[in-house]
Amino acid sequence: MYTFDARIRFSEVDSEGWLTMAALLNYFQDCSTFQSEDLGLGIEYLKERHMVWVLSSWQIVVKRYAGLCERVKVGTCPYEFRGFLGYRNFAMTGEDGQHLAVANSLWTLLDTDTWKPVMPTEEMRQGYALEERLDMEYAPRKIAVPQDGEKREPILVRKHHLDTNHHVNNGQYVDMAMEFLPDDFEIRQMRAEYKKQALLDQVLYPYVSLQEGQCVVSLLDEADKPYVIVEFLRRGGE
């Protein structure tokens, strides 16, 4: 597993001093970026070949949130290529070697000229050495949206929401969705299913369903088609 060492920063914790879900997701996202760059398969490699990896789904399971100034190890490993799809695990580990959080993710390789799926190059297949997938409880990729939700205030896509691909970063969607959680909602699992890309100045229309132990947030376009569906499960709501 590719890893890097880190220490939890003040800017990454909530009002109680614990790492936020958004910051945890960023650690995982950064880890895969570091690995790709170190392998010579990063942003410039993809740009030259008119390709981009687009995240299709997240599943992040938190066993314990790291605290302020805690030293952690963040790791990732690809475990399967299936056509134009890539599967990748993540883990954050404490100093005692125990997992604080684990994750599963699915990525789609796209041609940036046509925005159609393309097969990984031989360099990618050779560079990303596949490993055994992590021992965790794998949830389905598809997220069911309850019909008892309600619409909330629209969200305008701003420049700070965008990443190097010039569309809304996957973590920003989760940040937006978390705004609709009750104050005492401690996330034990987050799943996100990404449907399409949102661009600068587009408007997202939140549809929120809050039930005991679960909150599902759909960020929709004007025609009620989802950009992303995010599900949060509450600690103690098993």
Residue 164 pLDDT > 80, yes or no? no
pLDDT surpasses 90 at 165: no
Residues 63 and 94 in one domain: yes
Asked whether residue 191 falls in the same domain as residue 119, the answer is no
Query: Binning pLDDT at 50, 70 and 90, where does residue 169 land?
Result: confident
Tell me, yes or no, whether 173 and 96 share the same domain: no
Phi, psi of 73 (to 5 degrees): -120, 130
Q: What share of the chain is helix, strand, coil (3-state, %, to 5)?
A: 20, 40, 40
Q: What percent of the chain has pLDDT over 90?
A: 87
Q: What integer best gives the mean pLDDT of the chain?
A: 94
Q: Note whether residue 145 is domain-resident.
A: no
Same domain, 118 and 32: yes
Cα–Cα distances in angstroms (integers) from residue 154 to residues 41, 100, 204, 216, 230, in the given order:
37, 34, 6, 16, 16
Q: Which residue has the tokens 């990443």?
A: 163
**25 and 121 belong to one structural domain:** yes
String of b and e for 76-111 (b: at least 16 CB within 10 Å)? bbbeebeebebbbbbbbbbeeeebbbbbbbbbbbbe
In a domain, 23, yes or no: yes
- pLDDT tens digit sequence for 40-90: 999 999 999 999 999 999 999 999 999 999 999 999 999 999 999 999 999
- 10 Å Cβ neighbour count for 37? 13
pLDDT at 201: 86
Pick from 13-22, 162-171, 187-196: least confident: 162-171
DSSP state letters, 56-103: EEEEEEESSPPBTT-EEEEEEEEEEEETTEEEEEEEEE-TTS-EEEEE
pLDDT in tens, 98-134: 999 999 999 999 999 999 999 999 999 999 999 999 9
Whether 136 shows a pLDDT value over 60: the answer reads yes
- Please state, in angstroms and rounded to a whole number, the distance separating the CA atoms of residues 51 and 23: 27
Q: What is the CATH number of the domain that holds 52?
A: 3.10.129.10
According to the model, what pLDDT value does residue 167 have? Answer: 79
In a domain, 84, yes or no: yes
Paired tokens of 29: 């996202």
| Residues 42, 106 share a domain | yes
Give the whole-number percent of the chain exceeding pLDDT 70.
Answer: 99
Q: Which domain holds residue 195?
A: 150-234
Do 58 and 160 belong to one domain? no
Q: Is the pLDDT of residue 223 over 80?
A: yes
* Rounded CA Rg of the chain: 18
Confidence of residue 238 (pLDDT cuts 50, 70, 90): low
Cα–Cα distance measured from residue 232 to residue 136, given in angstroms and rounded to the nearest whole number: 17
Residue ranges in 96-169 assigned as alpha helix (H): 122-127
Task: Give a yes or no: residue 138 inside a domain.
Answer: no
Task: Write down the pLDDT at residue 206.
Answer: 96
Task: State whether 116 and 7 are in the same domain.
Answer: yes
Give phi and psi for 192, each to the nearest 5: -135, 130
* Residue 143 within a domain: no
Last residue in a domain, options 127, 142, 164 = 127
State the first-to-last Cα distance of the chain, in angstroms, to the nearest integer. Answer: 30
**The residue to which tokens 């109680």 are assigned:** 16
Assess if residue 122 is contained within a domain.
Answer: yes
Task: State the Cα–Cα distance between residues 21 and 233, nearest whole angstrom.
Answer: 12
Q: Report the domain count for the chain.
A: 2
What residue type is assigned to position 79 of the chain? Answer: Y
Are 47 and 106 in the same domain?
A: yes
